Structure 1
Amino acid sequence: MKYQNTLQFAQQQDKEDKLSYLRNRFHIPKDKKGNNWLYFTGNSLGLQPKATKEYIQQELDDWANYGVEGHFEAKNPWMPYHEFLTGNMAKIVGAKPIEVVVMNTLTTNLHLLMVSFYRPTKTKYKIVIESDAFPSDRYAVQSQLKFHGFSEEDVIEWKPRKGEELLNIDDLETIVSEQGDEIALLLIGGVNYYTGQYLDLKRIAEIGHSKDCVVGIDLAHGAGNISPELHNSGVDFAAWCTYKYLNSGPGSLGGLFVHEKHSKNKDLPRFAGWWNHNKDTRFNMRQPFDVMDGAEGWQLSNPPILSMAAIKASLDMFAEVGMEALREKSEKLTGYFEFLINQIGSEDIKIITPSNPKERGCQLSIQVKNADKSLHKKLTENNIITDWREPDVIRCAPTPMYNSFEDVYRMVNSLSSILSEGKEV
Structure 2
Amino acid sequence: MDKSNYIYTVEKITQTIPICMENTQYQFSEEFAKSMDAKDPMASFKSEFLFPKVDGNEAIYFCGNSLGLQPKTAKEYLQKELDNWANLAVDGHFHGEDAWYHIRKKSKPALAAILGAEEHEVVAMNNLSSNLHFLMVSFYQPTGQKSKIITEAGAFPSDMYMLETQVKFHGLDPDQTIIEISPREGEHTLRTEDILKAIETHKDELALVMMAGLQYYTGQVFDMKAITKAAHAVGARAGFDLAHAAGNVPLQLHDWGVDFATWCSYKYLNSGPGNVSGIYVHERYAEAKELPRFAGWWGHEEGERFKMEKGFVPMYGADGWQLANSNVLALAAHQASLDIFEKAGIDNLRRKSELLTGYLEFLIRQISGESGVLEIITPKNPKERGCQLSLLIHKGGKNVFDEFYKHGVVGDWRHPNVIRLAPTPLYNSFLDVYRFARILEQSLEKFA
Give TM-score, length-normalised by structure 2.
0.93
CA deviation profile, 1:341-384 (whole Å, cap 9, x unmatched): 11111311111111111111100111111343222211211111
Give the residue type in structure 1 aligned to 2:322: Q
State the partner residue of 1:405.
Answer: 430
Residue 260 of structure 1 pairs with residue 283 of structure 2: yes
Q: 1:108 aligns with which of 130, 148, 161?
A: 130
State the partner residue of 2:143.
Answer: 121
Give the residue type in structure 2 aligned to 1:272: A
1:8 Cα deviation from its structure 2 partner: 1.1
Distance 2:393 2:33 in 1: 25
State the partner residue of 2:110.
Answer: 88
Q: 1:210 aligns with which of 206, 221, 233?
A: 233
Residue 354 of structure 1 pairs with residue 379 of structure 2: yes
Distance 1:225 1:354 in 2: 15
Give the residue type in structure 2 aligned to 1:289: F
1:75 Cα deviation from its structure 2 partner: 2.1
State the partner residue of 1:66.
Answer: 88
Runs of 4+ in 1 over 6 A off after TM superposition: none
SS in 1 for 2:28: coil
Alignment of 1:174-189 (within 5 A): 174-189=197-212
5+ long unaligned stretches in structure 1: none
Distance 1:374 1:139 in 2: 32
Give the residue type in structure 2 aligned to 1:404: S
Alignment of 1:125-164 (within 5 A): 125-153=147-175, 154-164=177-187
State the partner residue of 1:367.
Answer: 392
Alignment of 1:272-421 (within 5 A): 272-286=295-309, 288-344=311-367, 345=369, 346-421=371-446
Distance 1:386 1:352 in 2: 16
SS in 2 for 1:79: helix
SS in 1 for 2:70: coil
Is residue 396–residue 447 contact of structure 2 (8 Å, CA) maintained in 1?
Answer: no
- How many residues align structurally? 422
Deviates more, 1:69-78 or 1:104-113: 69-78
Is residue 64–residue 268 contact of structure 2 (8 Å, CA) maintained in 1?
Answer: yes
Is residue 246–residue 314 contact of structure 1 (8 Å, CA) maintained in 2?
Answer: yes
Is residue 371–residue 392 contact of structure 1 (8 Å, CA) maintained in 2?
Answer: no
Q: Identity of counterpart residues, as a percentage? A: 49
Q: 1:53 aligns with which of 64, 72, 75?
A: 75
CA deviation profile, 1:28-85 (whole Å, cap 9, x unmatched): 111233x110100000000000000000000000100001001122322111000100
Distance 1:370 1:4 in 2: 26
Is residue 128–residue 262 contact of structure 2 (8 Å, CA) maintained in 1?
Answer: yes
1:182 Cα deviation from its structure 2 partner: 1.4
Deviates more, 1:115-124 or 1:51-60: 115-124
1:3 Cα deviation from its structure 2 partner: 1.1
Distance 2:380 2:183 in 1: 17
State the partner residue of 1:25.
Answer: 48
Distance 1:330 1:72 in 2: 41
Q: 1:370 to 1:180 in 2, by over 3 A?
A: farther
Is residue 201–residue 228 contact of structure 1 (8 Å, CA) maintained in 2?
Answer: no
Q: 1:371 to 1:259 in 2, by over 3 A?
A: farther
Give the residue type in structure 1 aligned to 2:108: T
1:232 Cα deviation from its structure 2 partner: 1.0
Give the residue type in structure 1 aligned to 2:340: M
CA deviation profile, 1:94-116 (whole Å, cap 9, x unmatched): 00011101000001001000000
Taking only aligned residues, the RMSD between alpha carbons, in angstroms, comes to 1.0
Give the residue type in structure 2 aligned to 1:91: A
Distance 2:145 2:334 in 1: 42
CA deviation profile, 1:374-396 (whole Å, cap 9, x unmatched): 22211211111000111211000
Give the residue type in structure 2 aligned to 1:37: A
Is residue 400–residue 447 contact of structure 2 (8 Å, CA) maintained in 1?
Answer: no
Distance 1:99 1:397 in 2: 29
5+ long unaligned stretches in structure 2: 1-16, 18-24
1:287 Cα deviation from its structure 2 partner: 5.0
SS in 1 for 2:378: coil
1:158 Cα deviation from its structure 2 partner: 1.1
Distance 1:62 1:174 in 2: 55
Give the residue type in structure 1 aligned to 2:293: R
State the partner residue of 2:242.
Answer: 219
Is residue 366–residue 395 contact of structure 1 (8 Å, CA) maintained in 2?
Answer: yes
CA deviation profile, 1:289-312 (whole Å, cap 9, x unmatched): 211111001000001100000001
